[in-house]
Amino acid sequence: MDDVFVGVDVGTGSIRSVMYDAAGGRLAEARRDLYNRYIAGGGAEQDADGWRTGMAATLRECMDTAGIPRESIRAIGLDGTSGTVVPVDQDGSPLTRSLLWMDTRSHREMDAINATGDKVLEWAGGQTSSEWVISKILWIKNNLPDIYAKTWKFLEPPDFLLHHLTGELASSYSNAVHKRHYVESEGGWPNRLLDSIGLADLVGKWPTAVKRCWEPAGFVSGKAAAEFGLPEGIPVVNAGNDGPAAMIGLGVLRPGDIAATFGTSTCFLFFHDAPSRVEGFWGPYPGGVFPDYYVYDVGLVSSGSVIEWLRRILFEDYARNAGDNGFDLVRQAAEALPPGSGGIHVLDYWRGNRTPHNDPTVRGAIWGLSLEHRPEHLYRAILEATAFGARQIFEIMRANGMSTRRIAGGGGGSRNRLWMQIHADVLEQPIVVTQTAEACALGCSMGGAVAAGRYPDLMEAAKHMVRDAETIQPQGHFDQYREAYEKYVLGYEKIKPLS
């Protein structure tokens, strides 16, 4: 058996473990659903205990499926939803449910942080977000002071799993720089900012070691080897933020390429070789992945989650006649519809807007409904709306001289052929879909392959492990989509006063 590398990806709806060989071939994949609780007022919480039990179950299932001896596993990489945070005690046990990245209850704390005008915010687009870690921790201190006082460490999902695998505490550069305002040129951790908002003790309450996604952050302990079925002593890398992990897994390693991940949210990440401020964009994050590049992180808060919302509210009616294939009928009927969804328009702001408005309080809208419309019209309108949100981002990129030479698509949504075709038509640009939809897990595995010495760097790992599956070319309908896009852009200023 060739060397085997494992990626563990903690997502919004599930945790996935995927095993790859050194040529990027997928040997096995397993997932377990994660329990989420949605609370009025923008709350979204996740059971952090599910990360540990889910990793144990999926790793063992992968080994059983692949039929490999565990000694073949050379390294394991970890990533997770960025901005999800859980307070733990000194045993590493959660003190409460984690605040999921999409939890926007901390929007007042976000405003207080932004009001400081601290210089370090300039490296994150001039402002923080309620999706990020510091605003969430400040919300915990303000609303759950007993939990804050008892907290030993605040951990993000890969930090949590790293600690249980190795006993070590270390953050990734991507999470530290992208979501906790770590900037080496400004002295590292944002102590001045934290002091100004009453969190002077916070740096001692999170991992202070910062590791690259190809550096060993620890090694599997004997206790963890028994619990998770892994070889003792293999390196563990903390790839951190799922967005940069997907960049690596999609082979986006240079300026001009765009990593597009289609999942619960839609994220577009790309490198730039010079720092420049773009209104409404997160970044330029300095050295979050490679020391010499700046990263921009933009996207839609709600995309796949809106599709899932529609599936939930429609499924019972369709299931009466079609059993478990009810929603498949909706998708098939939507493919036969012409562009424009019969005049239905959607704003995809079910959990607010990330780019370009950074507005966690605005909410979604649907208009143009008529009696002749069916569920497939609404489904297609949602797909088109998320593509319009992408176009709005890409137009800002181009206006600021940022290249969009190649779009590489991954994530579970990249398997939805209609969704990808609509994006290609709306963006008027091809989309390259890679062979594995689990780009985050592959990126983690590639970091592990470098940490284990199989490849000298990520560039070389990408040559062997990243494979393109197909290129989806635009098929036209440009004028019709441009007209609908203009209505989408206008929708924000119309719906904002009503939210």
Q: Edge-to-edge strand order for the sheet containing 294-300?
A: 282-286, 294-300, 266-272, 257-262, 406-410, 431-434, 468-472
Residue 254: which of 293, 213, 212, 286 has the closest Cα?
293
- Answer whether 137's CB lies under 8 Å from 180's CB: no
Nearest to 436 by CA among 264, 245, 253: 245
Of the candidates 311, 332, 313, the residue with the CA atom closest to the CA atom of residue 417: 332
Instruction: Note whether residue 70 is domain-resident.
Output: yes
Residue 459 confidence (pLDDT): 95
Instruction: Please indicate, yes or no, if residue 226 is contained in any of the structural domains.
Output: yes
- Residue 94: cis peptide before it, omega within 30 degrees of 0: no
pLDDT score of 296 = 95
At 499 the pLDDT is 86
Domains: count for the chain: 1
182 within domain boundaries: yes
- Full residue range of the structural domain in which residue 244 is found: 4-249
Contact 366, 381 (CB under 8 A): yes
Mean pLDDT by 10 residues, the chain (499 residues): 92 96 96 94 95 97 93 97 96 97 96 96 93 97 98 98 98 94 95 97 96 97 95 97 95 94 94 90 93 94 93 68 69 95 97 94 96 96 98 95 91 94 97 92 98 97 95 95 97 94
pLDDT on residue 329: 86
* C-beta separation of 31 from 100 below 8 A: no
Six-digit token string for 71: 């000694």
pLDDT at 321: 54
Report yes or no on 364 lying in a domain.
no
Is residue 317 one of the residues assigned to a domain?
A: no
Residue 491 covered by a domain: no
213, part of any domain: yes
> Which among 243, 281, 280 has a CA at the least distance from the CA of 262?
243
| SS3 label, residue 308 | helix
Residue type (1 letter), 162: L
Of the candidates 308, 295, 306, which has an alpha carbon nearest to the alpha carbon of residue 268? 295
Which DSSP helix (H) or strand (E) runs through 149? helix 145-150
- 161: domain CATH number is 3.30.420.40
Each residue's pLDDT tens digit, 285-343: 999 899 999 999 999 999 999 999 998 888 765 555 555 567 888 899 999 999 999 99
DSSP state of 374: -
Query: What is the reported pLDDT for 48?
Result: 96
What's the pLDDT score for residue 326? 72
Chain centroid, CA 315 distance in Å: 27
28 and 18 Cβ atoms separated by less than 8 Å: yes
For 191-303, where are the alpha helices, taking DSSP H only? 191-196, 222-228, 242-249
SS3 state of residue 361: coil
Instruction: Tell me if 135 is assigned to some domain.
Output: yes
What residues form DSSP beta bridges with 350? Answer: 352
